[in-house]
Each structure stands twice: as C-alpha cells, then as structure tokens.
Structure 1
Amino acid sequence: MNKRVPRLLLSALSTALMAGAGWSAMAATLNISLDADPGKLDPTQSSMLNERIVYQSIFDKLVDLDGEGKIIPMLAERWTVSDDQKTYTLFLRKGVKFQDGTPFDAKAVEFNLLRGQEKNSLRRNELKYISKITVVDEHTIKLELSTPFAPFLSILTDRAGMMSSPAAVKKFGDDYVNNPVGTGPFIYKGRLKGATITLEKNPNYWQAGLPKVDGVVYKIMPDVNVAFNNLRSGQVDITNRFPYKEITNIAAGAKYTVLNKPSLGFRGFYMNTGKPPFDKKEVREAVDILIDRNAIAKVVYNNAVAPGHSAFSKAQFANGPSDVPPKVDVARAKELLKAAGKEGGFSFKLTLPTTADELQAGQMIQGMLRPAGINVTLEKTELATQIENGKTGNFEGLFVGWSGRPDPDQNIYDFVTTNGSLNYSHFGAKEVDDILQKARLEGDQAKRKVFYDQAMALLVKEVPYIYLVHDNVLFGISKAVQGFQYVPDGVIRTATVSK
C-alpha cells in the first residue's frame, strides 16, 4: 500500500538533509595513484618516495616548504638560531593534538627526535648532529648541535621532522609501522597490501577549515598507462606519474591537466673509479662529452626534464654554471682515450633499472658512445640489487638517480665525499671533501653557493658521476581538483585540496 508523503513534509525533509548533511553535497574522497606500494608507514623506517607522499597526509612536520622551496613554519610557529649556528630554539604551536587525542608538545618533539637517532632508525644520520635536547617549557624546545650544520632546518621539512604520537609508538611497538598516528589532516584507517591505503578526515585538525575532503584513498598502480587511463575515466584524481609520450598529446576537451615543473632531483649514472677503465679520469671525461643530453631529454622524456650537468637543478639556490651540459665532441673524446691508453676504445657494462624509459636512455647512450669505440652492454636489475651492487662496488656503470632534497648538501655531500654513504663511484678527493664540509658549516646562503660552485667545478673535471637530466615534478591532475599546491620536493600535499 502506497502512502503519499505530504509535499510540505518532503520539502522540510530535503531542507533538513541539505542543511544537516551539507557535507553530503560536498562529501568527497580524493583518489591518488602511486606507482609503487609504500612499505612501512613509520617515518623512522622509510626509504621510499611514495611513503613520503602518504606521510604528508598523516603527519605534520616541525617545518615545511612552500612552492618556491623556502622553509616555512608548521608545528614550529617560529624559531631562533644562535650566532654560532649551533643552537636552535623552536617555539611550538599551541592547542595541537595527535589523532589519538594526546597533546602535541615539547616532550613529544623530544621523544620523536631521540627516536629518530636510535640505531635502527633510518633518520639517525640526518639527526646525528643533535648533541643535547632541552625541554624549556611545554611549547619551547632547545636543540644543541655538536657542530654548525646548515641543512638542519631543511632536514626537519621531511621525515626527520615528522611527529608521531609517543603514546601510539609505545602502544603498538614494532607494529607501529602498520598503525601510524600523527597530527596531520587525515587519519590512517587501513590498507590492502598492493592495492589501497585508506585515510579519513581528521575532524580535530589544528588548521581551521582543513582538510577540505572527507578522505584520501591511495591506489597502487605500478603501470603508468593504467594510472593514466584511471585519470581519464575519473577513477583517480591525481597520479604521481604521467606517461611522457602523453604530455604533448592532451585533447582539447580532456578532463585532466598535467603539472610539469622543476624538481630537486637528478638522473644519471655512476662510474666505478676503483676499477679500470674508469680509474682514469680521461676515460670518464670522454664518456661525459660523448653524451647528448638534449637528445635524451627530447626522445626519452618528451622534454619533461631539464638537460643537466650537476647535482643542482634550477629549483635549487646552488644551481650554477656547471649545470650547462658540454657540447658533444667525438674528436676530443678520442684524444682523451688515447691519453689514457685506450686508443682502440673499450667495453663496459651499464646496469639499469627495469623501467622502459631508462632502457631507452641506456640504448641512446650505447649509440652515443659507439663512435669513439666504446661498447656498452646493458643489464636490467631491480633497484634493491642495484643499491647493493653500489655499496659493494660490484659494477662498472650504475644508472641510479636521486629524487632530490631541498638543501643542496643532501644532493651532493654523501654522493661524492670520501666514504660518503651514497658514493658508489668510490671516488675521493680531499679538496672536494674540504669545500663541502665548509658549505655545511656556513650559515650564509650566498657564501654557501660559492662553495657549491667550487665543488662542482672540480667534479666536472673529475666526473665520478654522469649527470644527465633533472626530472620535473610530473603529476596528472583532474580538472575537478581545486586548491592543489605544487612544491618542488615532488610530494603531494592533500590538506588544501577539494573536489
């Protein structure tokens, strides 16, 4: 039996629904595709870029970056630095709570920084210069460094500065990697390994009016073309990768745009200076001047990279004259090989990642080196194996890039200093070590820039690493997305985004 609902009552019901559930008209979930499944959801255990993308929604940091890569306040409202550059006093935001309801305060900061220094923490090298932590009062903390260390604040804009709930860390122990709790705009709800990570709006977030959506779902899509098709069909709102060939292929009525702006990273390959033939710098220099970076940028990456010749992209203050790629010079390369006793050329193996783009870049390098009699064999290897080979020196050429960090020190120091943790070339030069150490101790940005120019001028002659290109931050973004903010660290921030 049908009962007619009086029109007046229907009207009242719909008004109540629209008013009381105004969110339902606005309710939205932000869907983001990631090209790899994040591992551990604990900043102290993290080594992947995609983990950093997820963390940005769960954890706030002591300080953050703006769209120009400048350091701005976040959980620390302001800070002072002593004249000797060794004491940092942070003044913390009041009234902030972790997502489990416990207070964020100076004791919580102390807990996180000490935890970051522990032996099993991957942040320990970044935080090793903190020699003393003093909780001045509930909202003030003093950090004393053993030596001036210019990149210190920059390090706190990333995983080392992310604040976990001390109560949650104690409660979950080793399983905290599956139960992250921060002060950020979204609360972790769960994951399906290899498929999705689901977050829900933090109703008590300290930034008024944020976040703007009700939830975020990260969808794992290793194939860049699958992610692209999901963006086109509206199943995904933001993709953290975009097919290079599609950048210049966007139809007029497309429902998505491409963000294509400079990042902080670089791509290239190490040469093992500890073994022939790369123990001779003339051989390394010959390889360097045979490579046409502009051709690789155009053919492989559809110009969504900048041809480069240094550790510093244009998004970094240390970018300088060394970043201009050399002109290809086969005759000069042959002279250099002759001087090194390699007049007839030589062969070497270049180990590459398993991606199609890198294989194509490797094939182009193969062709570019052939006119000087250099024969390159390409070998595809998983990233984990490549890094292991880099550490042990079990390679000749090793194609491994770097996603980049906001402070120049983090793009060069560990890569080229003697015994640096990422110095897979096994290169060492006291002059380079000394200059880069001075750059670490110098607080003045203009003076630091001079040191980085000096270091790069030496490295361009020594060539332990072949810098090829600087990646761009390359995201596909649905036109339904509003309020997206580009930051050159290449990490997606979700707090301000609406749909």
Structure 2
Amino acid sequence: MGYRLLSVRTACIAGAAALVATAAACSSSSSSGTASPTGSALQTQGQVKSGGSITVLESSGYSGAWSNLDPAQDKEGAALQDFNSAIYGQLFELGTGGKVVGDLATGYTFSPDAKTVTITIRQGVKFTDGTPFNAQAVLYNWERDLGPVGIANGLAPNWLVAKAPAPKGAPPGTLTPPVAGAIQVTGPYTLVVHQIAPNGAFINQLFDSIANWIVSPTAVKTEGASFGQHPVGAGPFTVVTNVPNNELIVKKNPAYWQAGHPYLDQITFKTVGSDEAAYEALLANQGQVYEDMSTTQLITESAAHFEVENNLGTSPYDLQLNTAVPPFNNAKARQAIYAATNFQPILQHLFGGRYPIVQGFTGPGGICYEPNVPGYQGYDPTLAKTLIQQTGLDKSTIQLGTIALSTAQESSQALATQWEALGLHIKLSSWPLAGLITAFTANGGKSWQSMVQTAGAYDPAAAIGVDFRFNSMSPFSGVHDPQLDKLLLQAQGSTDLSVRCGFYDQAAAYIAKNYYGPFYFAFSPANISVHGVFGPGLTTPLASVAVVPTVPWEDVYYNP
C-alpha cells in the first residue's frame, strides 16, 4: 500500500487529534460566537496568486451526478456541497481545526437554556442579481426549506421548532412547516430561532444543510421551476453554464463581500466516470483537482505526481440493518451479522489498512470520538454459525445494497464473501445516489434489508450524522426506537461538549446492545491536486463536515 501518504500528511494531523477535539469544543460548547471574517483560515502554501482557472473533476457516482442546484429541491444535497457553496456561499463554514467561520453570517448567541439562537447576518451584501442579502432573505429561504418545498422533496431539516399540526390521518412522523413566530426577523440583519427543546448543536447543524445555502428570493420567484438550472446566490462565483451530470462552469463574482476573493477567475466542475478516469485526466492535464478519490492504489500512485490531502475521517462506514422488516426485526439475527463480520481483512485487502476501525458513529476527525464502545459484539464465527442456524438466516437470501462507488461496492462484495463462508446467502445491489435514495424510501422504507453506507459527521447531531442513520424520524434509518431517539435528543441538547459526549457514549452503547448496526472504519477519501493548486481541504487539512470537507473555493488559488 505504501504509507508515504500517511507519513507526509495524515500522520501530521493525526498527532494533533486532541487539538482538533479541543478546538471543536469551542464551536460546539460556547454559548456565543463571533465567527472569523477571513473565510476559512487559509494556510498559505506558495505565493498567493489571483486569476486563472482550474478544472475540478467530480465522480459520476457521487458529486458528479446532479439534476437541480436549488438547495430546497436538490435531492443530492450533501454530495453537491462544493457546488452550492461556490454559488451561494454559506452562512457559517466549518473551518480548520473545527473553528466556526463566518461567511454570510457574522456571529451567533445561544440563550442560557440553549433553546434560543440569535444569528447576525453580514451587512452590505447583495445577491448577484443586485437584490439585498439580509435577514428577511434568510427567513424566506428557511421558510421554504422547512416548509412545503423542502417537505415535498423530503429535504426539510427537522429543526426543534414548533410545527403546525399534521393533517388528520397523516402517518406518524409527518413533517409540517414551523408555526408563525418560530423563526423571527428582529432587525434588518438579525434572526432569532425559538426552539422547543435545548439544542447546543444548532450552528454545527447548519454545516452541509440546505439551510446554510441562501438563494435569491427574487430569482426564485422570477425563474420559477427553472431556478435550479439557473441558480442565483451571493457566493464567490456565479453560474456560466450548467449541464446536469456533465459540467458546471462558474466565474468570479466581482461583487463578492470579501475583498480580493475569490482568487480564481473561473472553475469548471467536470464529471468523470471513475477514479481511474480522473487519474488519467490529471496526468494529461485535463483537470487540476479531483475530489474524493477512494481507490487505495491510485491514492498511492498519485503521491508520486500530485498533491494528496487526506483529512481525518468523521463518517464511519456502517452496515445498516432494517429493523422494521424480516429478518432484522429479530435481535438475534442482527447479532448474527455482528458476529459474522470481520472488517480487519477487508480493510487491509481493499484499503491497505489506511483507515482506523471504529465501533461507533464518530471518527477521529469529529467531536465525541469513541473508538471502543462497551458491549460491542465483535467477530465470532462460532457464535455467528449458531445464531444463523437458530434464526433461520441460512434459509433465506439477504439483500445487501450500497451506493454505486467502487469502494462501497468492493466492500460489499468482500462482506458478502465473508458471510457466505458462514452459510448465508446474499444478493448484492448498488445504485447511483438518486437510485439509492429511492431504494431507501420505497414502500415506506420497508423494501430494503441491509445497506453499506456512511454514518457520521463532524458533529453527530449534524448533516448525515447519527440521526440520519439511526433516528426514527429519518427516511434513511432502519431503526425505530424511542429510547434511542431520546438519548440522541439529550446529546444535542447542551452547549457543554462534555455533557453532549456523555450522552453520545450512552447512545453508542445502546446501539451496540441492541445490535442496530455494526460499524466498519472511519473512511475519508483523498483530494488530489496538481502542483500549484493551493487551498484548504486540498493542500492543507480541513475538518470534514461529513464524509469530506466543504472546500471554500473562494480561498483556492492556482500558481503553477
């Protein structure tokens, strides 16, 4: 495998893991914050140069597949974080070392009980259509995201604010818009969010959320259904050409709020079919950056030619088990899967041992990381064979699905081979992101049995964190346990990081006790750049919001 990459970059930041956690406490446990105005705490390498253009390659299995760039209607959401952030900017960024960085918002304050959050919007900013960016524009977006548009598209963030009552006869968990006054504009540049329960994670929950990307209300009303093809924001770049699933070209926003930024004149985001295709394109100078390379051999080979940035993982791979349908509505069947699963040889064979094995929903790059969870059922093939026979798992076929990315597919195939050696029968399936979402939600979430996915975020209460995979309210969860829901709610309820982590430790132990889903390793793909490209997340480490960091493209420059 070659551990040169780890020694060059990853090992350097691994040694500072404790410092990352400490910095995280500043963003997650303080009751107020004045966010840094510098965009992303850029660590300069080489002389900063303004101008020029780059091509950024995106995998067709993840970020290179998009249909709509309207956040409230964008089902690819987190996969398109870099597109959205380039066009819209962000209210807050997750910066280096877990620092909350102000972009289109400048600060926040929690009330003592952590129920009320006051957010200050940056003054003097305009959308690229010339209309004002202010608190009223943010409120318009949030009412749209949390209301009918976001709900209709299954994207509405489930904020802890008072909601309108569900229609009579609606199924449990039906999302409804916030009641009037739950979110208030209290001044031209001030919003107040009134939550019905303490939530010290609110600011961290904005990262990588559709609510962090603010669209022009005027443009939405003017463009109507076509807005997602012609998006307008107040970010560092404006859209020149948008060909879904193929190419997105953006150019510098000359009216961007941060003087001297963005550095680049133009970025072309281009879809490629595989890691191999991206690697060859970089060698041929047909691209300058490839995001999220996961093929171990190519990461190793890339180190001889390019800059390789490995960021500490925050999103472990996990095996989701659907407890709502057979066979995994049986706890002993779930325990059998735990006992039948040995991730060490899979990690070594497919990934060269590159990533740490974990037992919970956090990784070393995030807060509340707990590598060893009490009571976790480890690999035990003898026990597995006994449980397989007792539960009749050997007499049925288990459906095992995943996203159509090579690493996930190869991991699933290796896992199936391992299980089959113990007497199980496996049917493998994989889908691009849109198809995977459909597979999760079909038949009210009762058409799938098991899925290899990622489950975690920098803050477990945010993005595709633990709630995304284990909370009863999530359409992407196979678990429906009120006690677990309660623990997760308590964990996000404090602004004291030590209190939050204590509840998350309890939640991890509860998941292990009930065999709700074994965890693999804290995966984090690499970003590959040609020499001369510099920027956070590309050539200096940046905290991963979820699986990968959100690159602040305004701070990226090219000095070949």
TM-score category (smaller protein) = 0.7 to 0.9
Q: Which amino acid aligns with 1:59?
A: Y
SS at match of 2:96: coil
Q: Which amino acid aligns with 1:448?
A: R
SS at match of 2:184: strand
Superposed CA deviations along residues 361-404 of structure 1, whole A, max 9, x for unmatched, are 223212322443323333444544443343331233233335x4
2:133 corresponds in structure 1 to: 104
What is the deviation of 1:266? 2.8
What is the deviation of 1:466? 2.7
Q: Which amino acid aligns with 2:437?
A: I
Residues 20-99 of structure 1 aligned to structure 2 (within 5 Å): 27-35=51-59, 36-48=64-76, 49-99=78-128
Sequence identity (%): 23
Match of 1:406 among 458, 461, 476: 458
Match of 2:227 among 172, 176, 183: 176
Match of 2:156 among 124, 128, 139: 124
SS at match of 1:409: coil
Match of 2:399 among 337, 345, 349: 349
Residues 392-403 of structure 1 aligned to structure 2 (within 5 Å): 392=443, 393-402=446-455
Matched, 1:113 2:113: no
The answer (yes or no) to whether the contact 1:126–1:160 under 8 Å persists in 2 is: no
SS at match of 2:367: coil
Query: Which has the larger displacement, 367-376 or 26-35?
Result: 367-376
Match of 1:143 among 187, 193, 201: 193
Q: Which amino acid aligns with 2:85?
A: Q
1:15 corresponds in structure 2 to: none
Task: Tell me, in whole angstroms, the C-alpha distance in 2 between the residues paired with 1:172 and 1:156.
Answer: 26
Cα separation, partners in 2 of 1:344 and 1:102, compared to 1, 3 Å: closer
2:553 corresponds in structure 1 to: 494
Superposed CA deviations along residues 477-496 of structure 1, whole A, max 9, x for unmatched, are 11110233433122222111
The answer (yes or no) to whether the contact 2:335–2:377 under 8 Å persists in 1 is: no
Query: Which has the larger displacement, 318-327 or 353-362?
Result: 318-327
Cα separation, partners in 2 of 1:73 and 1:315, compared to 1, 3 Å: same
What is the deviation of 1:251? 6.2
SS at match of 1:387: helix
Task: Tell me, in whole angstroms, the C-alpha distance in 2 between the residues paired with 1:100 and 1:343.
Answer: 59
Cα separation, partners in 2 of 1:247 and 1:310, compared to 1, 3 Å: same
The answer (yes or no) to whether the contact 1:345–1:373 under 8 Å persists in 2 is: no
SS at match of 2:225: helix
The answer (yes or no) to whether the contact 2:261–2:554 under 8 Å persists in 1 is: yes
2:476 corresponds in structure 1 to: 422
Task: Tell me, in whole angstroms, the C-alpha distance in 1 between the residues paired with 2:322 and 2:308.
Answer: 37
What is the deviation of 1:75? 1.8
Task: Tell me, in whole angstroms, the C-alpha distance in 2 between the residues paired with 1:323 and 1:29.
Answer: 47
SS at match of 2:292: coil
Superposed CA deviations along residues 95-138 of structure 1, whole A, max 9, x for unmatched, are 22221222222222222222222212154234462653333222
- Between 1 and 2, higher relative CO (CA 8 Å, sep ≥ 6) is seen in 2
Query: Which has the larger displacement, 361-370 or 344-353?
Result: 344-353
Structure 1 regions of 5+ residues with no counterpart? Answer: 1-24
Q: Which amino acid aligns with 2:535?
A: G
Match of 2:506 among 454, 474, 481: 454
- Aligned-pair Cα RMSD in Å: 2.6
1:215 corresponds in structure 2 to: 266
Match of 1:438 among 490, 493, 500: 490
What is the deviation of 1:459? 0.7
Superposed CA deviations along residues 1-54 of structure 1, whole A, max 9, x for unmatched, are xxxxxxxxxxxxxxxxxxxxxxxx963112101112322111111232342111
The answer (yes or no) to whether the contact 2:50–2:557 under 8 Å persists in 1 is: no
Superposed CA deviations along residues 394-448 of structure 1, whole A, max 9, x for unmatched, are 233233335x43321241224223354322x2x3333322212222323322111
Superposed CA deviations along residues 150-172 of structure 1, whole A, max 9, x for unmatched, are 33212323321222222222221
Task: Tell me, in whole angstroms, the C-alpha distance in 2 between the residues paired with 1:304 and 1:201.
Answer: 37
Query: Which has the larger displacement, 129-138 or 41-50?
Result: 129-138
The answer (yes or no) to whether the contact 1:306–1:472 under 8 Å persists in 2 is: no
1:9 corresponds in structure 2 to: none
Task: Tell me, in whole angstroms, the C-alpha distance in 1 between the residues paired with 2:331 and 2:466.
Answer: 19
Q: Which amino acid aligns with 2:146?
A: Q
Question: Normalised by the size of structure 2, how large is the TM-score?
Answer: 0.77
Task: Tell me, in whole angstroms, the C-alpha distance in 2 between the residues paired with 1:88 and 1:366.
Answer: 47
Residues 155-174 of structure 1 aligned to structure 2 (within 5 Å): 155-158=205-208, 159-174=210-225
Residues 223-372 of structure 1 aligned to structure 2 (within 5 Å): 223-242=274-293, 243-250=295-302, 252=304, 254=305, 256-322=306-372, 327-337=378-388, 340-342=390-392, 347-372=397-422
Superposed CA deviations along residues 220-260 of structure 1, whole A, max 9, x for unmatched, are 112221111111222211111323221222464x2x12111
Cα separation, partners in 2 of 1:337 and 1:441, compared to 1, 3 Å: same
Superposed CA deviations along residues 60-104 of structure 1, whole A, max 9, x for unmatched, are 222111123332322221221111222222222222222122222
What is the deviation of 1:327? 4.7
Q: Which amino acid aligns with 1:171?
A: T
Query: Which has the larger displacement, 319-328 or 81-90?
Result: 319-328
1:16 corresponds in structure 2 to: none
The answer (yes or no) to whether the contact 1:269–1:399 under 8 Å persists in 2 is: yes
Query: Which has the larger displacement, 261-270 or 29-38?
Result: 261-270
What is the deviation of 1:294? 2.1
What is the deviation of 1:453? 0.5
Cα separation, partners in 2 of 1:381 and 1:443, compared to 1, 3 Å: same
What is the deviation of 1:449? 0.6
Query: Which has the larger displacement, 435-444 or 380-389?
Result: 380-389
SS at match of 1:175: helix
Cα separation, partners in 2 of 1:351 and 1:139, compared to 1, 3 Å: closer
SS at match of 2:511: helix
Cα separation, partners in 2 of 1:429 and 1:208, compared to 1, 3 Å: same
Q: Which amino acid aligns with 2:298?
A: E
Task: Tell me, in whole angstroms, the C-alpha distance in 2 between the residues paired with 1:166 and 1:251.
Answer: 45
Task: Tell me, in whole angstroms, the C-alpha distance in 1 between the residues paired with 2:359 and 2:277.
Answer: 33
Q: Which amino acid aligns with 1:232?
A: L
Q: Which amino acid aligns with 1:92?
A: I
The answer (yes or no) to whether the contact 2:183–2:194 under 8 Å persists in 1 is: yes
Task: Tell me, in whole angstroms, the C-alpha distance in 2 between the residues paired with 1:210 and 1:380.
Answer: 41
Cα separation, partners in 2 of 1:281 and 1:76, compared to 1, 3 Å: same
Match of 1:467 among 504, 519, 530: 519
What is the deviation of 1:328? 2.8
Structure 2 regions of 5+ residues with no counterpart? Answer: 1-48, 162-177
Task: Tell me, in whole angstroms, the C-alpha distance in 1 between the residues paired with 2:102 and 2:391.
Answer: 56
Q: Which of the pair has more CA radius of gyration? A: 1
What is the deviation of 1:350? 1.9
Q: Which amino acid aligns with 1:442?
A: S
Matched, 1:206 2:257: yes
